[in-house]
């Protein structure tokens, strides 16, 4: 039996980096093939080559044994290759069906769009995937998970026989990941060959059949899932063992002085939430995606409209009209969506990192000392191990995980007293994750208070001193010490079960 897809001896260089060096990958029909590797290992690049977005310097792409050349993404689509990109690619203000058929709408003889046919095909697709989404709804009103499913439907709409999923689970919660896996298994039964990229190794063992590992752009090994285990995979990926991903737990200092007390009521809500934050503690915000965690965090720094916002810092009443006010008071936020809310894409890595503390580099004010800036940037990039040819590299050309590290680096050594990290490890590989956890612990031990919003339960249970659980836009539970367990958190997070709860904007929830 010939493989549906085989990539043979593929190499690709970018200015200053050899992204891929003689990499091969074979996927059979009805197989889910995991592609693993550290941040910047070349996974996304390999997939973009498969989809005609980049051209390989060397190597061959074979579909069903036949050598193919794709000069564009359209070519690849037409040949039955679909991809769900690492970064969302839907147009938020268009409806679901318009997104699915964007650029290749079925037309009648007059050249007008055949909407009825599009709708019918969309329903058929959703049936096949067993998902229930209204095709007429605008994409930005969907939950992240549903958007992800629309991406899959879009990738499949041309009868793709090969489907690439580049970190599809990164923004999803465990239940949503389960839904995704159900869909993937269905597709596998239908004979679709899939390449699945993820930094969550446990997921690999749940759905995948075979594994290929890349390291620094080179091929390391392939094997069946059954022949390996978690630790062996980690070693294959990063070339060394990682024993404990979380730093050792220390007893919580219950006497630490309270740094922040807040009482927040959202603009369109009738209730208020209150919380306290002590010096040197890591406070977790747990809950489903869309449960109001990010909104509350944004409201804390004055970036989200509120009805009530009573904030006391060190016992003194403060008022933040904008994130700049909060920053002046020593509160910083690392937002959830690095592309939209975090990075200045045309900037270099270095300029992204120093953006909000340029005043540290005054030579005589108001002039900047480039060399002092460069020193700080180098140190920060080393601390989180950004893999980039130089600090002057445009942040746009980094791999997804390395972009995330740049956003984190911005908040190191900032002199902030409170840091709010919204999904800080999204898209970051196992090795780098454990370093970021260690870094957060170190910051906390220096007396910095950290709020961590995370949809990854192990992260919450492994790192937090205290946890607030959110559901439907409000805080429903506070857990500390021994109570912080995955089951308990999930039980609180799904109180008031309701269908489609996550797709409702939080602000409409306060009835």
Partner 1 sequence: MSDSTQPAAVAAPRRQRRSRATRMLHSPMFFPLLGFIAVFIIMSLVNDRFLDVSNIENVARQGSVIGIIAVGMSFAIFTGGIDLSVGPVMALSGTLMAGLMAAGWPAPVAIAAGLCVGSLFGAFNGFCVAFGRMPPIIVTLATMGAAHGLALLYTGGYPISGLPSWFAWFGRGSLAGIQVPILIMLLVYAAGYVVLHHTPFGRYVYAVGGNEEATRLTGIRVPRTKMLVYSISGLTAAIAGLVITARLMSGQPSIGEGFELDAIAAVVLGGAAISGGRGVVLGTLVGAMLLAMLNNGLNLMGVSSYLQDVIKGGIILLAVYIGRGRDA
Ligand X SMILES: Nc1ncnc2c1ncn2[C@@H]1O[C@H](COP(=O)(O)OP(=O)(O)OP(=O)(O)O)[C@@H](O)[C@H]1O
Among 6, 26, 44, 173, binds ligand X (CB under 6 A): 44
Our CB check for Mg ion shows the closer of 173 and 399 to be: 399
Is residue 377 within the footprint of partner 1 (CB under 8 A)?
A: yes
The residues facing 68 across adjacent strands are: 61
Considering only 3, 4, 7, 17, the residue that binds ligand X (CB under 6 A) is 17
Q: Choose the contact partner of 265 out of ligand X, partner 1, Mg ion, none; CB within 5 to 8 A by kind.
A: none
H-helix or E-strand containing 306? strand 306-313
| Strand 258-266 versus strand 306-313 pairing type | antiparallel
Taking alpha carbons only, the member of 318, 244, 304 closest to residue 506 is 304
Choosing from 37, 302, 350, 400, the residue that interacts with Mg ion (CB under 5 A) is 400
Residue 333 interacting with partner 1 (CB under 8 A): yes
Please report how close the Cβ of residue 420 comes to ligand X at its closest, in angstroms. 23
How many whole angstroms from its chain centre is CA 107?
Answer: 36
Contact between 39 and ligand X by CB under 6 A: the answer reads yes
Give the Cα separation of 91 and 88 in Å (integer). Answer: 9
Looking at the Cβ atoms of 30 and 330, the one nearer to partner 1 is 330
Return the number of the residue (261 or 435) whose C-beta is nearest ligand X: 435
71 binds partner 1 (CB under 8 A): no
CA distance 457 to 286: 8
Identify the CA nearest to 435 among candidates 446, 423, 424: 424
Complex with ligand X: residue 407 or 477, whichever CB lies closer: 407
Nearest approach, Cβ of residue 1 and ligand X (Å)? 29
Q: Which is nearer to partner 1, 282 or 391 (CB)?
A: 391
397 binds ligand X (CB under 6 A): yes
Least distance (Å) from partner 1 to the CB of residue 480?
A: 30
CB of 333 to partner 1, least distance (A): 6
Binding mask 19-38 for ligand X (x = CB under 6 A): x-----------------x-
Tokens 């950004």 belong to 386
Counting every residue written for the chain, the total comes to 511
350 interacts with ligand X by CB under 6 A? no
Binding positions for partner 1, 196-235, rule CB under 8 A: 216
Helix H or strand E segment including 258: strand 258-266
Partner from Mg ion, partner 1, ligand X, none binding residue 410, C-beta < 5-8 Å depending on class: partner 1
| Contact set for ligand X, span 126-155 (CB under 6 A) | none
Show the beta-strand stretches assigned E in 15-99. Answer: 17-27, 32-36, 58-63, 66-68, 81-84
Ordered DSSP codes for 180-242: HHHHHHHHHHTT-EEEEE-S-HHHHHHH-SEEEEEETTEEEEEEEGGG--HHHHHHHHHSS--
Token pair 């596998």: residue? 188
417 binds ligand X (CB under 6 A): no
> Judged by CB under 6 A, does residue 82 bind ligand X?
no
H or E segment and range at residue 133 = none
């Amino acid at each position: 039996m010939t493989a549906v897809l085989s990539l043979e001896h593929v190499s690709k260089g970018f200015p200053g980096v050899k992204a891929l060096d003689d990499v091969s990958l074979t996927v059979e029909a009805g197989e889910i093939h995991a592609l693993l590797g550290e941040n910047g290992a070349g996974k996304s690049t390999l997939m973009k080559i498969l989809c005609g977005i980049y051209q390989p310097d060397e190597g061959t792409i074979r579909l069903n044994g036949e050598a193919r050349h794709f000069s564009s993404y359209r070519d690849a689509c037409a040949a039955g290759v679909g991809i769900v990109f690492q970064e969302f690619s839907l147009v938020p203000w268009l409806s679901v069906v318009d997104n699915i058929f964007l650029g290749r709408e079925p037309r009648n003889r007059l050249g007008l769009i055949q909407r009825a046919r599009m709708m019918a095909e969309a329903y058929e697709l959703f049936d096949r995937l067993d998902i229930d989404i209204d095709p007429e709804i605008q994409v930005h009103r969907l939950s992240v998970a549903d958007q992800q499913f629309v991406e899959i439907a879009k990738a499949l709409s041309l009868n793709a026989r090969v489907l690439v999923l580049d970190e599809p689970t990164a923004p999803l919660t465990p239940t949503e990941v389960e839904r995704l896996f159900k869909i993937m298994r269905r597709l596998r039964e239908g004979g679709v060959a899939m390449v699945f990229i993820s930094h969550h190794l446990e997921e690999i063992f749940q759905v995948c059949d075979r594994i290929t590992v890349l390291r620094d752009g080179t091929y390391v090994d392939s094997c069946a899932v059954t022949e390996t285990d978690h630790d062996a995979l980690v070693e294959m990926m990063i070339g060394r063992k990682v024993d404990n991903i979380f730093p050792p737990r220390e007893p919580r200092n219950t006497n630490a002085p309270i740094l922040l007390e807040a009482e927040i009521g959202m603009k369109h809500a009738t209730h208020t939430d209150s919380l306290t934050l002590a010096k040197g503690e890591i406070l977790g915000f747990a809950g489903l995606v869309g449960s109001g965690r990010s909104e509350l965090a944004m409201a804390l720094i004055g970036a989200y409209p509120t009805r009530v916002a009573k904030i006391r810092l060190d016992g003194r009443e403060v008022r933040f009209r904008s994130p700049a006010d909060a920053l002046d008071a020593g509160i910083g936020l690392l937002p959830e969506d690095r592309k939209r809310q975090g990075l200045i894409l045309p900037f270099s890595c270095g300029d992204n990192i120093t953006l909000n503390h340029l005043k540290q580099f005054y030579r005589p004010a108001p002039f900047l000392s480039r060399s002092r800036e460069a020193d700080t940037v180098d140190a920060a990039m080393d601390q989180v191990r950004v893999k980039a040819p130089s600090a002057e590299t445009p942040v746009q050309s980094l791999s997804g995980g390395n972009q995330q590290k740049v956003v984190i680096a911005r908040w190191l050594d900032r002199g902030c007293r409170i840091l709010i990290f919204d999904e800080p490890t999204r898209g970051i590989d196992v090795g780098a994750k454990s370093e970021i956890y260690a870094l957060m612990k170190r910051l906390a031990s220096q007396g910095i208070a950290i709020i961590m919003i995370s949809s990854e339960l192990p992260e919450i249970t492994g790192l937090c001193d205290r946890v607030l659980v959110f559901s439907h836009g409000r805080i429903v539970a506070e857990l500390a010490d021994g109570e912080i367990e995955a089951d308990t958190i999930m039980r609180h997070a799904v109180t008031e079960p309701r269908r489609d709860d996550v797709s409702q904007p939080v602000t409409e929830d306060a009835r």
